[in-house]
Chain A
Amino acid sequence: MSIEISNVGKRFADFVALDDVSVSIPAGRLTALLGPSGGGKSTLLRIIAGLERADTGRVEIDGVDATTLPPQKRNVGFVFQHYAAFKHLSVRRNVAFGLEIRKRSKEEIRRRVDELLALVHLGQFGDRLPTQLSGGQRQRMALARALAVEPAVLLLDEPFGALDAKVRKELRDWLRRLHDEVHVTTVFVTHDQEEALEVADEIVVINEGRVEQIGSPDDLYDRPANEFVMRFLGPVTQLGDQLVRPHDLQLSTDSGDGVPGRVARVTRIGFEIRVEVTTADGQPVTVTLTRNEFLALGIGTGDDVRLRIAPNSPTTAVSTPAQRADLAAANS
């Protein structure tokens, strides 16, 4: 059940939320819409669900033009950041809601709800009220409720955004496994690049209402299309006019080629050593090394070193002097 979005635009008064966005989301995959908050990714998701109407453009779900269809007729499952639980109904009744509306038989509803509750590991919690569940459990209930109607596509809007770090991580792994079992076309919105890289088959990077890049996690990380994607998907540092990942920089103490600099500070964060080097022309550069690499080098604060970019590492040019100034400000 693929989703085809063509030339979609959306404004809220003066604010352009989406500007001529075209994305095609393949069937059966887990796709992440990734970008900073306010970038338009949630608006795009809500337009796919029919909760928001596009000003221009076209949305096709499974080959059918859905642009003007109301949400009731789109057959999508939607999961909200804050669960949107029906508070007065038990967990069972929450999950059964879509089936009851479709006037399925009591027997069928009971069977299907049992299945789904087992799938989301809430088998023993069917008779509780949503307020008696933890955040993670509530979100799993919301997921079961959305899956109950066998939607063509499953849409999740920052589904783990309201949960604490540990539960987030668990649910992320669990969503990945669930998707491998259920195979429903899934689109989820997140501003957390780690979440997107870890869970998604395909990532759509959205910023300021436009698509910056579409690709697999490896594509995006190793071959970023532009400076924004490079910066957003992982740590960056600047060497000369090049943006580069701190772990793609090599340090040496010999007097060969490379940019000369002096070690300004060494910080250890767990298994990772962060070395801050100031180049001869005063540019601050961050390099990350593993503990063993660092020990082999045998350097400390004040030592002279040379900086090189490791072969085949992704780099992007810093585009404008203005942005260079921004970066210098951000690094200082």
Chain B
Amino acid sequence: MTSTAVTPDRPAGDRRPVRAGLPLTRLSGLGLGVAMVWFSLLVLIPLAAVVVTASEGGWDGFWQTATNEQTAATLRLTVGTALLVTLVNIVMGTLIAWVLVRDNFVGKRALEVLIDVPFALPTIVAGLVLLSLYGPDSPLGVNVANTRVAVFLAFLFVTLPFIVRTVQPVLAELDPEVEEAAASLGASRFVTFRRIILPSLTPAIAAGAALSFARAVGEYGSLVLLSGNLPMRTEVASVRILSSIENDNPDSAAAVAVMLLAVSLTVIVVLDVIQRRVVRRG
């Protein structure tokens, strides 16, 4: 029997290492087919449809929308704030994950549960909470309504759990002996963190950062109440898309959507590249 001969009636329970380039069995072929159809229906076809709609106005139409002053301001605000929020999350999320894994304190379990609240809360409820806390009637005396700070705050709120939740399990799995080995070789706490722990966490941080950025770029519900949606000042991309649709301009809406898509894709790829570099450099 040669290694490439795969009989179609091989029992499904017969496991062997999957190697690239081998013909699929009937069952795994079926699995792959279902996965592809599902992915296409939910993701690929709608994305293609958006790109097609955006291109209906022709390159000129697309370019006009892209260079429209108001659209450009919207994109700058959205992408800029999302990047800033992601940077903050990289530091704070890793820190919170560290505290949750490495330290023991009263209320740790409560905090553990509370971390997920921004996930669980419907975004419009989050918006309402933010409005009542930081709006014109703020009990704290902090009023950031109708400013860009509101956008920043809303992004920060909804993206908080991403890095915490991706880093936490990886950190918990780290072998304490590895840190002891580094210490006995003469590495200080800082050097051990920088050269041993951080490279192990980087893939998780990058994954969390990508999720956090993607979520921020598309955020709508949590900021729409507090930011005031002022054109040229606090209007974000998702609001701009909605107003384009309302003004019966689906081409423009699709154009903004395609640009958001391109930015998100770029950021995810860049994060992946950076992540690989950090891991390899050690």
Chain A residues in the interface with B (C-beta under 8 A)? 49-51, 70-72, 74, 76-78, 80, 82, 84-89, 93, 97-98, 101-102, 142, 145-146, 148-149
Contact = CB atoms under 8 A, between A and B. Distances in A.
A78 B181 contact: yes
A149 B282 contact: no
B235 to A, nearest CB: 43
Given A86-B282, A88-B200, A97 B185 contact: yes
Contacts of A148: 185
A102 B187 CA distance: 9
Interface stretch (B59-67, B152-160, B172-180, B265-273): B172-180
B181 A80 contact: yes
B114 interface: no
Interface in B162-200: 175, 177-178, 180-188, 191, 195-196, 199-200
A49 B195 CA distance: 21
10 contacts: A50-B184, A51-B180, A71-B184, A72-B183, A72-B184, A86-B196, A88-B200, A88-B282, A89-B282, A146-B185
Contacts of A89: 282
Given A82-B175, A84-B177, A86-B196, A51 B186 contact: no
Contacts of A87: 178, 200
Given A80-B177, A82-B177, 5 more contacts: A72-B184, A72-B186, A84-B175, A87-B200, A88-B199
Nearest to B174: A87
Contact of A98 (B175, B180, B186, B279): B186
B194 to A, nearest CB: 11
B177 A88 contact: no
A142 B182 CA distance: 11
Contacts of B183: 51, 70-72
B189 to A, nearest CB: 9
Contacts of A145: 181, 185
Nearest to B180: A51
A49 B184 contact: yes
Contacts of A50: 184
Contacts, number: 65
A78 B175 contact: no
B175 A101 contact: no
Given A72-B188, A98-B186, A149-B186, A84 B181 contact: yes
Contact of B186 (A84, A86, A101): A101
B206 to A, nearest CB: 14
Contact of B185 (A51, A70, A93, A149): A149
Contacts of B177: 80, 82, 84
Nearest to B279: A88
A186 to B, nearest CB: 15
Nearest to A75: B186
B225 to A, nearest CB: 45
Nearest to B178: A84
Contacts of B196: 86
B282 A93 contact: yes
A183 to B, nearest CB: 20
Nearest to A88: B199
A102 B180 CA distance: 17
A154 to B, nearest CB: 11
A143 to B, nearest CB: 12
A90 to B, nearest CB: 9
A77 B186 CA distance: 10
Contacts of A76: 184
Contacts of A149: 185-186
B282 A78 contact: no
Nearest to A86: B196
Q: Which of B177, B187, B199, B280 has the most CB of A within 10 A?
A: B177
A50 B183 CA distance: 10
A8 to B, nearest CB: 19
A156 B150 CA distance: 57
Interface in B32-61: none
Contacts of A80: 177, 180-181
Contacts of B186: 72, 98, 101-102, 149
A70 B182 CA distance: 12
Interface in B238-281: 279-280
Q: Which of B181, B187, B188, B196 has the most CB of A within 10 A?
A: B181
B226 to A, nearest CB: 42
Q: Which of B180, B182, B185, B186 has the most CB of A within 10 A?
A: B185
B187 A78 contact: no
A98 B191 CA distance: 11
Contacts of A72: 183-184, 186-188
